[in-house]
Chains A and B, each alone.
Chain A
Amino acid sequence: MKLMEYQGKDLFRRVGIPTPEGVFATTADNVKSYLAAHPGSWVLKSQVLMGGRGKAGGIKFADDAQQGEMLARELIGKLLQSIQNPAGEHVKSLLVEEKVDIASEAYVSIAIDRAAKKPIVMVSRFGGMDVEEVAAKNPDDIKKYWVDPAAGYSPFMGRLLAFRAQLPDGYRKAFPSVLGALYTLFMDYGATLVEINPLVLTKDGRVIASDAKVELDDSGLYKHPDIAAWNTAAPADEDQAAAVAIGLGMSNYARFPDEPGKPAKTVGTIANGAGLGMGTMDAIGNAGGGAANFLDIGGGAQADLVKKSYKLVTSDERVKAMFINIFGGITRGDQVAKGIVEALAGDDVRKVPLVVRLTGTNAEEGRAILDRAGFVPVETMDEGAARAVALANGSN
């Protein structure tokens, strides 16, 4: 679960990381009344999950209440688009923050290093920029430290990193405790990523987290019901919401936008298992077609879930044919076939030509059942993909 900046900063304050003065606002009136009561220079920051918010025009500066109100009206409801996110995201709320006098900007993050099986801390004196760009151009400007979770964090790690990364002197006193607090947040809230970019050193000597990027592990959310509740309030990815609505895992369904110069995405796919799901969409590509989606239906393939998944995939108007790819495994092929036939018997689903690849235990019996019901049963994934692409293109 990705958190918005204002949510991330809520967690920052809980663990003692300094953040700018400010207020969360959902209306232009909120902004107007706050600025009227707090004269000064303020920043209006659009609360969205997408990257490249500043370049997309999502950050504005206001020096009085009237200007603040006007800019807030402009921002709230606006569709922000960036290179990273061409589809864009609508702004629903703002974070109004004090405009700080910046002396220096640093970068600090903690993530999970899968290969090392440890939390990895990264620090750079070049904050405020895209860290991937820094990493690509000057990898030596990013200093790394792997914390042993059995021993935990100790301030020397912060000192070591501050010296190695050559952070300006003004950071030195505060940095080890800021990093310690960030580590506490990372471990206690089950974060997969915490990033402060930039960690600002102000001209009056304060060290403040100017931005907050926090991603939490969905599997660990049950330990923090108050934060899990934020998820429903936040605008989730439409595909993820659709997956959860029919009882699939959040990342078990994803639609793929059409890409210029590539075959139109006209073949819907359903497979059991994430790896096979990826293999299935690749197979459609190899057969010269375009997979409209990825859908992992999980183990068992119960009739009800088959039906709901079929409805979800065909709700995408681009889908002209469907390829269901089931590797029977422990489940019996005849049962899977019966499930598919029953699921699609009614009139309440948009019917498209359907190819079913069924293999594993009792697969032959299963294919016979499908054949009798008028579906196209096939034995191999490559064959099924080729048939589905041909059907989507209008041939038999």
Chain B
Amino acid sequence: MAIFLDKNSKVIVQGITGREGAFHTQRMLAYGTKIVGGVTPGKGGTTIESGQPVFDTVRDAVDATGATHSIIFVPPFAGADALWEAHDAGIMLAVCITEGIPAHDMLRVVNTTPGMRIIGGNCPGLISPGKSLVGIMPSHIFKEGNVGMISRSGTLTYEIVDGLTRAGFGQSTCVGIGGDPIIGTTFVDCLRAFANDAETAAIVVAGEIGGSDEEDAAAFIKDHIPDKPVVGFIGGRSAPEGKRLGHAGAIISGNTGTPESKVKAFAAAGVPVADRPSEIPRLLAERMRPVPA
């Protein structure tokens, strides 16, 4: 079943005729994602080269196609508006790829869109390998399997997934939650879904320094996931205090966001933390059997 996304999920692309939107629409279609159409205001009634219809509004797209999922490629200033439009039209899950949406726009959006799950912004999206890709990840490194994967970053996710796939661990679903100060779906939201997913046998949580996402995740694992092995990773452990590293949240300030605090929290939840990404498959193997290819 995977989480958030399966092979029958009907997906629209907001910003389907833009450069990024058009490019990734073709990649997602090639992977088998059921892209049923897209939205570009002013281009309603046309179709893109591969045949999918373009609509003027998300309401028109949902009415005509029955889409439940949306992926958003719009400029930062239009990000909040695109999410509100998706919510208004009854979209259940929106993946927001856009980087640079003001934090206060997201603050308002996440508190005014009940019933719609938002992934991101500033994230690589969502993939349930072998079923569907609603994101910009390089799909060839993924393999269908039973390891759930959650990460705050993009390329580090690819690094870890590549290692998992090479070691024979396929993935049920992989979620890049994004590195912005306010995001729609947190580690805990993903863990709750993985805990209830019959197809997920183990979980990898790839965090980084800064904030308290990892501590929150560890507390949830301790109380609610007694029966599935979880392996952790924390990027930026060698960073000195006070340096902001790429992501808005990746900064150690005082006693907040230190790797020690995160490792300790994971340890208290019985979660081993890999010192390097290449150790993750071994830590998983010690706790579960790889599914034969």
Please give the residue numbers on chain A whose beta carbons come within 8 Å of chain B beta carbons, in ascending order: 84, 112, 114-115, 117-119, 132, 136, 148-150, 187, 190, 192, 217, 219-220, 222-223, 249, 251-252, 254, 256-257, 259, 271-279, 281-286, 291, 294, 296, 327-330, 359-361, 380-382
Contacts and interface: CB of A to CB of B under 8 A. Distances in A.
B245 A294 contact: yes
A115 B243 contact: no
A272 B155 contact: yes
Question: B104, B138, B140: which has the most chain A beta carbons within 10 Å?
Answer: B104
B155 A275 contact: yes
A278 B236 contact: yes
B236 A217 contact: no
A279 B275 CA distance: 10
A249 B248 CA distance: 11
Contacts of B243: 254, 256, 294
13 contacts: A114-B181, A115-B186, A115-B216, A149-B108, A251-B247, A275-B179, A275-B208, A277-B246, A279-B276, A285-B238, A286-B275, A327-B155, A381-B278
Given A114-B249, A278-B235, A286 B276 contact: yes
B209 to A, nearest CB: 7
A117 to B, nearest CB: 5
B221 to A, nearest CB: 15
Interface residues of B, number: 63
A166 B183 CA distance: 34
Contacts of B111: 117-118, 148-150
Nearest to A272: B155
B211 A114 contact: yes
B175 to A, nearest CB: 14
B247 A274 contact: yes
Contact of B236 (A252, A282, A284, A361): A282
Contacts of A115: 186, 188, 212-213, 216
Interface string B128-158: 0000000011101100000000011111111
A217 B105 CA distance: 11
Interface string B176-188: 0001011100101
The 7 closest A-B pairs by CB, nearest first: A275-B153, A274-B246, A275-B156, A273-B155, A220-B102, A278-B236, A278-B235
B260 to A, nearest CB: 14
A382 B186 CA distance: 29
Contacts of A132: 254-255
A284 B237 CA distance: 11
B244 interface: yes
A112 B106 CA distance: 11
A381 B155 CA distance: 12
Interface in B78-124: 100-105, 107-108, 110-112
A57 B159 CA distance: 48
Contacts of B104: 187, 190, 217, 220
